[in-house]
Amino acid sequence: MRTTRTVPARPVLFTTLALTTAGSLLLTPQTAVADPPHPQPPHREAALDRNAARTPTSAAQRALATAEAGSEAISDDSRGYPRRQVLTPDPENPADKSIKLGLTPYHAVAPKLNALQALGDRVSVEVAGRSAGGHRLYLVTVTAPESARQARAQARMRELIENAPALAAKSPEIRKTYKAPVFVNNNIHGNEWEGTDASLRAIERLATATDGRTRDLLAHSRLYFNITANPDGRIAGTRTNANGFDMNRDFVTATQPEVRAMRRIMVDKQPAVMLDLHGYVNGTLIEPTTPPHGENYEYDLFLKNTYANALGMEAAVNGLGYTPGKDGVEPAQIPFRDQQEGWDDWPPIFTPQYAAFHGTVAAHTVEIPLAVNNEEYDTLPTAELRRRSAINVDVAGAALSATLDFVRARRASLVADQIEVFRRGAAGAAQVPVSEETVPGVPGIGPEDVYTTNFPRAYVIPAGTGTQRSATAAARLVDHLLANDVRVTRAAQAFRLGGKTYAKGSYVVDMRQPKRGLANVLLADGRDISDRVSAMYDISGWSLGRLWGASVATLPGVPYGVLRPVRAAAPVAYVAPRGDLRLRLDDPNEIAALNSLLRQGISVRRAADGSAIVPGSARRRAAQAARTYDVAFHATKLSGTTPLHRTRVAAAVTSGELFALREMNFEVTPVSTGVLNAGFDWSSVDALFVSRGLDHDDLTSGARTALDAFLDGHGLVGRGATGAALGSATGLLAAKPVEGNGDANGVVRVVNSRSTLMSGAPDHGFVYAPVWFTDLGPEVRVEQSYATGNPLVSGHWRESEDGSGGPSDAAGRASVISGPHAVLFGTEPLFRDHPKGEFAQVARALFSMAPVSGSD
């Protein structure tokens, strides 16, 4: 279930050192694993995902990296079907939370899949990757047998659909023989179990059924089942994976290995239809959704098919005969028809909404009815839990069966609509606003459902100092676009457009491409929709073009003749050949490189602009860090003033913040009120970061005394209301935190100071329940403020019911403040990996709070 509030592609390792004619160290790329035997076209080529990739340093890390790289096998079109393999069983785990519900425990999945493959020639199993906890992710394909030649023909037609949609629309071969791809995703929330069991039951039936409808379905479709998208959570009975991430919020940033595996499936298989099976909403909730609708979709095509399939699923679910009085099961509901707002498809962080950008024209979240998780799991009798789970499996199975009937009946039109999605993108055609005329058969369409956008002609990610804030951030963004199957080109020479000159090496994203919607989702500012709806389900702003730290702009045209397609961003890694070295600290990769040097005992000093000065004697160590983190060390005559020390962090933070801190190579020890009350060894850490889970009022007197003693010699970095409350309770900063509307979130404009903390910081930030500071004491420094006017660029930020807490109240107010022993953030600088351009602000704050013994 989506709940309201109350992080690969093949890595590239820079391993070879060579000397340029200038004598500098050139770090050349070397592929980490072998290319597949049939490489994809350039825009599909696996690219370095700098958001996740690191040089594996241990045997366990290398094994995990190899397993993840194995997900590329799912794109191998040289083999036909079936593709049988014998899976090694996992050790039996009696603690698996599925067992109590009478469902399939994870350790029983591999033997079950082995048995299903043995039933005939329709079922194939591949390992699509590994979870954060190291568990295998199983992709099952069910289809009529195909020779290798037939499989290659299917791949050729699939590529034609995306790459030459105008030709594909006229192809008799596609109309007659192309197998419509269908993707069924299960158990992305680990404690919403039953989709897995419904899919296993469906696969067993499809493997052996001899009726004409099944034979026709499998002759004209490929059915792909992600058996459990979250084995970590399935075993543990948690919504999240082993990293603590809700993966149904991760598709914009793809921080998690499971999400990258799902992304790879959607890119490679190009499903026309998909189901994401969840729980629990009674009656069964079947998308399409209420407004607002994602403005980058071809929503007329999406709504037509999604609503039609929803009606079929509703009939199938209600046709099971379960009743409210007898079984506790309410009739199914379709939010588009039955609700006003509050269950939207605006952000592409959810699996079905993300799938739409890869050509899926009917994609649904389906929430099965009877709760068996959380409190119910702990309090209901086992017999009642199993009764509910059995009903849920039936309901999920009915929705799945109805969808397969829908695909069988409408294969040709579904494929034609997918082709039209890609044709509009490639041609730069206008979107078609939804209406009763453009989407016949869907009742109740009104102006509240009309969301379209104006796509720019192109985006540019410029090269060169003075125009690009961060070359490392730019390279990461380019590789992220490529991993999402967005086409990117690079200028072979300088060009001039719109009155501006762009350097050689600038990246250009031509928006006349099949997946323009996804390109725009990732790069555009987004929209302020505060006046369109009163409530949002989750985030409503997420621009990576503004938040990931790279400079991004739009172009009025495309500089033809100078652009070349790229498979991966050009490496940034560089070390000056002589003299001391300057490492900018504006990007999380640069922070990670610095932390790696500090752990090795390298003497590093901080310059007035916040950068790090590394002695020339550490050049070889710097070269290793440059290779690993793709950063540049330039020559400098600066000596720096303040020593930078290895900083170990005690953190009472969210899972996303913990992940971000570790991504920057900080040594982090999670803490909480309970941990401190149990007696915490403060000598093991150098700074404290708090955003949740630590309440000063609930600490014992001994824990308070120990905390106060630590803060006397160290310092606090706080975020949000919880961090501000601790700063106030400990007397570290004289300021009044003001909480804005708790439902507000989005991209905001900010104004930064030129201090060591904020030098070079981006002029956009992210808020989620924004906070600002008033009544500042004389020792308090304003490091950052919300912009004047309306600071909200995109998202949803209204006044609270009493008229307070809106963006006008925050305008011009302090959003980040500092003092001698504390830095407090009112923004969300580490939120779910979205504002990567802000990560360095937190890192600099932590360095400033660590003790500075030995400084000059």
Catalytic residues: 375
- The CA-atom distances, in angstroms, between 817 and each of 142, 198, 730, 748, 785 are 57, 52, 16, 17, 9
CB atoms under 10 Å from CB of 446, counted, come to: 10
Two tokens, residue 164: 């030459």
Query: Percent helix, strand, coil in the chain (nearest 5)?
Result: 35, 20, 45
Size (the chain), residues:
856
How far apart CA 172 and CA 164 sit, in angstroms, is 14
Q: Which contiguous run of DSSP H or E holds residue 51?
A: none
Residue 631 carries which side chain, given as an amino acid letter?
A: V
Helix, strand or coil for residue 800? coil
Q: Tell me the CB-side half-sphere exposure of residue 679, using CA atoms within 13 A.
A: 0
Helix, strand or coil for residue 273? strand
Residue-wise DSSP of 657-704: HHHHHHHTT-EEEE--HHHHHTT--GGG-SEEEESSS--GGGS-HHHH
How far apart CA 710 and CA 724 sit, in angstroms, is 18
Residue 25 carries which side chain, given as an amino acid letter?
A: L
How far apart CA 781 and CA 798 sit, in angstroms, is 28
For residue 729, is it left (φ>0), alpha (ψ between -120 and 50) or beta?
A: alpha
Two tokens, residue 177: 């023989």
For residue 805, is it left (φ>0), alpha (ψ between -120 and 50) or beta?
A: left
Two tokens, residue 393: 């499996």
Closest CA to 8 of 58, 83, 65: 65
Instruction: Catalogue the E-assigned strands of 474-555.
Output: 489-491, 495-497, 500-502, 507-510, 553-555
How far apart CA 419 and CA 431 sit, in angstroms, is 14
- The CA-atom distances, in angstroms, between 743 and each of 235, 345, 803 are 32, 17, 14
Q: Could you tell me which residues are beta bridge partners of residue 564?
A: 490
Closest CA to 589 of 728, 420, 473: 473
How far apart CA 657 and CA 668 sit, in angstroms, is 11
Q: Any residues with CB less than 8 A from the CB of 67 and at least 6 apart, and which?
A: 127, 129, 130, 134, 136
How far apart CA 169 and CA 233 sit, in angstroms, is 42
CB-based contact 168:185 (threshold 8 Å)? no
Closest CA to 198 of 293, 276, 286: 276
What HEC string does 646-660 produce? CCEEEEECCHHHHHH
How far apart CA 114 and CA 397 sit, in angstroms, is 21
CB-based contact 633:575 (threshold 8 Å)? yes
- The CA-atom distances, in angstroms, between 177 and each of 172, 181, 409, 421, 508 are 8, 12, 15, 20, 36
Which alpha helices (H) appear in 771-829, and where do they start and end? 807-810
Two tokens, residue 329: 């099961």
Radius of gyration of the chain (CA): 27
How far apart CA 719 and CA 842 sit, in angstroms, is 10
Q: Which contiguous run of DSSP H or E holds residue 431?
A: none
